[in-house]
């Protein structure tokens, strides 16, 4: 399976323009972002974020109650909270599930202002956010688990900079059996059309990208025909 670095190099080689390596990366990322919106391929995802501790002096009850769903998630299925808050001197903690409920229940329950802060035990989704109850009294770690987009290699690296180097990452977007060839041809087509002013070459690459896109659209429809999003991996 090609790596992210090898995919970029194949684009440069197809164009026979080694000086365009940075352009190839930028355009390839643009194509990944575009096709992330088109396909329903997804993968399991777990991400840890901190709570915001309520402080009456800061009047930050809204920030402590409400959290944006990270953009890498399609949906969140489970939230756990770490208590006590782990530290360097005391790293051991216990992960407990928060109970998912509907927003109206939290709204009816969380009626005190200013709120009484304590360990949260409920959460409710609401649009692109979720709300906690009780309002956190400490910056507890929250572990979010759900279905995520298949991340671009740079996004994978950003989540774990101590892991595999960005250029060596392989996933759906680099795999020739996934979207690797689509990203390769779509990127070269764009660069030929917009940077190199080569309409004939752009047309050839765009047609190759169209074939790869049709394959993935068919696979995407098959994977979701019963209403269930299945992981690619």
What digits encode the pLDDT tens for the residues 46-67? 899 999 999 999 999 999 999 9
Do 74 and 126 share a domain, yes or no?
yes
59: left (phi over 0), alpha (psi -120 to 50) or beta: left
Do 13 and 51 share a domain, yes or no?
no
Closest CA to 21 of 33, 2, 7: 7
Domain that holds residue 91: 44-148
- Among the candidates 88, 123, 148, a domain finishes at 148
Rounded mean pLDDT of 72-98? Answer: 92
Do 70 and 33 share a domain, yes or no?
no
Answer for the pair 173, 183: CB distance below 8 angstroms, yes or no: yes
Name the DSSP class of 1.
-
Alpha-helical runs (H) found in the chain = 4-15, 21-36, 61-65, 103-109, 153-159, 180-194, 199-224
Residue 232 has pLDDT above 60, yes or no: no
Domain membership of residue 229 (yes or no) is no
Q: Provide the pLDDT for residue 224.
A: 59
Q: Provide the pLDDT for residue 41.
A: 65
Angstrom distance (rounded) from CA 140 to CA 129: 18
Do 56 and 84 share a domain, yes or no?
yes
Domain membership of residue 233 (yes or no) is no
Q: What is the pTM of this model?
A: 0.66
């Amino acid at each position: 399976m090609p790596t992210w670095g090898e995919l970029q190099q194949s684009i440069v080689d197809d164009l026979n323009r080694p000086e365009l390596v940075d352009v190839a990366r930028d355009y390839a990322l643009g194509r990944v972002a575009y096709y992330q919106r088109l396909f329903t391929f997804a993968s399991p995802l777990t991400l840890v974020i901190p709570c915001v501790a309520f402080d009456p002096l800061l009047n930050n009850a809204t920030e402590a109650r409400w959290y944006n769903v990270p953009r890498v998630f399609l949906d969140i299925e489970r939230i756990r909270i770490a208590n006590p808050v782990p530290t360097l001197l005391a790293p051991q903690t216990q992960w407990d599930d928060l109970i998912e409920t509907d927003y109206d229940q939290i709204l009816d329950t969380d009626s005190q202002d200013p709120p009484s802060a304590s360990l949260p035990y409920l959460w409710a989704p609401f649009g692109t956010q979720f709300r906690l109850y009780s309002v956190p009294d400490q910056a507890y770690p929250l572990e979010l688990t759900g279905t995520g987009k298949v991340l671009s290699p740079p996004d994978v690296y950003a989540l774990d900079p101590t892991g595999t180097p960005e250029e060596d990452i392989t996933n759906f977007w680099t795999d020739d059996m996934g979207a690797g060839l689509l990203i390769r041809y779509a990127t070269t087509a764009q660069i030929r059309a917009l940077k190199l002013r080569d309409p004939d070459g752009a047309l050839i690459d765009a047609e190759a990208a169209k074939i790869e896109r049709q394959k993935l659209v068919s696979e995407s429809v098959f994977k979701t025909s019963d209403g269930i999003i299945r992981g690619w991996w």
